[in-house]
Structure 1
Amino acid sequence: MSTPPARRRQLRTWSPARKQELVQAVSTDSDYGPELLDLASNDYLSLCRHPSLIAAAEAQLRCSGVGAGGSRLVSGSRPVHDQLESELAQWLGREKVLLFPSGFQANLAAVKALANRHTTVVADRLIHHSLLVGVQASGARLRRFVHNDLESLERLLLHCRSEHPDARLLVITESLFSMEGTSPRVHELATICERHGASLLLDEAHALGVLGEEGRGLGFGERRVTMLSGTFGKAFGSGGAFLACNGELGEQLLQESGAFRYTTALAPPLAAAALAALELMRNNPDWGQTLVQRSNTWRDRLVEAGWARPTGSGPILPLLVGEDQQCLNLQRHLELSGLFTAAIRPPTVPEGSARLRLVLHRLLPDETLESLLRALSDDRVS
Structure 2
Amino acid sequence: MAGASLDAALRPALEERRARSLYRQRRVIESPQGAEVVVDGRAYIGFCSNDYLGLANHPQVRSALKAGVDSLGAGSGASHLVCGHSREHHALEEELADFCGRERALLFSTGYMANLGTVTALVGKGDGIFEDRLNHASLLDAGLLSGARFQRFTHNDTDNLDRRLARAEARRKLVVVDGVFSMDGDCAPLSNLAEAAHRHDGWLMVDDAHGFGCLGAQGRGTPELQSVGGAEVPVYMATLGKALGTAGAFVAGSEALIETLIQFARPYIYTTALPPAVAAATRASLRLVREEGWRRDVLQARITQFRKGARALGLTLMDSQTAVQPLLIGDEQRALALASALEARGYWVVAIRPPTVPAGSARLRVTLSAAHTEAQVNGLLSALGESLAQGGL
TM-score (norm 2): 0.87
Q: Secondary structure at the match of 1:49?
A: coil
Q: Retained in 2: the 8 A contact 1:110–1:229?
A: no
- Report the CA distance between 1:286 and its aligned residue: 4.2
Q: Does 1:352 align with 2:356?
A: no
Partner of 1:112: 120
Which of 114, 124, 134 is matched with 1:126 structurally? 134
Give CA-to-partner distance per residue, 1:151-186, whole Å, 9 cap, x none: 2211221222xxx1x531110001101100010121
Which of 153, 167, 171 is matched with 2:171 structurally? 167
Quick one: which amino acid aligns to residue 184 of structure 1?
A: A
Give the Cα separation in 1 of the matches to 2:33 and 2:238: 27
Which of 137, 140, 154 is matched with 1:146 structurally? 154
Give the Cα separation in 1 of the matches to 2:107 and 2:69: 18
Q: Secondary structure at the match of 1:74?
A: helix
Q: Secondary structure at the match of 2:51?
A: coil
> Mean Cα displacement is larger for which, 105-114 or 354-363?
105-114
Give the Cα separation in 1 of the matches to 2:319 and 2:37: 25
Give the Cα separation in 2 of the matches to 1:65 and 1:91: 27
Q: Secondary structure at the match of 1:214?
A: coil
Q: Does 1:61 align with 2:66?
A: no
Q: Secondary structure at the match of 1:197?
A: coil
Quick one: which amino acid aligns to residue 35 of structure 2?
A: A
Which of 81, 84, 91 is matched with 2:92 structurally? 84
Partner of 1:204: 208
- Report the CA distance between 1:258 and its aligned residue: 1.7
Q: Retained in 1: the 8 A contact 2:54–2:371?
A: yes
Q: Retained in 2: the 8 A contact 1:187–1:222?
A: no
Q: Does 1:219 align with 2:230?
A: no
Residue ranges of structure 2 left out of the alignment (5+ in a row): 1-30
- Report the CA distance between 1:289 and its aligned residue: 4.3
Partner of 1:6: none
Distance change (3 Å), C-alpha of 1:290 and 1:223: farther
Q: Retained in 1: the 8 A contact 2:34–2:51?
A: no
- Report the CA distance between 1:358 and its aligned residue: 0.1
- Report the CA distance between 1:310 and its aligned residue: 2.9
Partner of 2:111: 103
Which of 72, 75, 78 is matched with 1:70 structurally? 78
Partner of 1:298: 306
Partner of 1:190: 194
Give the Cα separation in 2 of the matches to 1:146 and 1:23: 35
Q: Retained in 2: the 8 A contact 1:175–1:204?
A: yes
Give the Cα separation in 1 of the matches to 2:319 and 2:301: 14
Give CA-to-partner distance per residue, 1:43-97, whole Å, 9 cap, x none: 0001110000100000001111111011111111111001000000000001111
Q: Secondary structure at the match of 2:84?
A: coil
Q: Retained in 2: the 8 A contact 1:124–1:172?
A: yes
TM-score (norm 1): 0.90
Q: Does 1:251 align with 2:259?
A: yes
Q: Does 1:274 align with 2:282?
A: yes
Q: Retained in 1: the 8 A contact 2:230–2:253?
A: no
Give the Cα separation in 1 of the matches to 2:377 and 2:301: 14
- Report the CA distance between 1:369 and its aligned residue: 2.4
Residue ranges of structure 1 left out of the alignment (5+ in a row): 1-19
Q: Does 1:318 align with 2:326?
A: yes
Give CA-to-partner distance per residue, 1:8-30, whole Å, 9 cap, x none: xxxxxxxxxxxx9x9842234x2
Quick one: which amino acid aligns to residue 306 of structure 1?
A: G
Q: Secondary structure at the match of 2:287?
A: helix
Give CA-to-partner distance per residue, 1:106-161, whole Å, 9 cap, x none: 1101101221111111110011111122112210111111111112211221222x
Partner of 1:176: 180
Give the Cα separation in 1 of the matches to 2:162 and 2:217: 27
Partner of 1:40: 48
Q: Retained in 2: the 8 A contact 1:219–1:228?
A: no
Q: Does 1:26 align with 2:30?
A: no
Give the Cα separation in 2 of the matches to 1:252 and 1:44: 32
Aligned residues: 356
Give the Cα separation in 2 of the matches to 1:216 and 1:101: 21
Give CA-to-partner distance per residue, 1:185-244, whole Å, 9 cap, x none: 212211121111111110011100111231101224342212111111101100111111
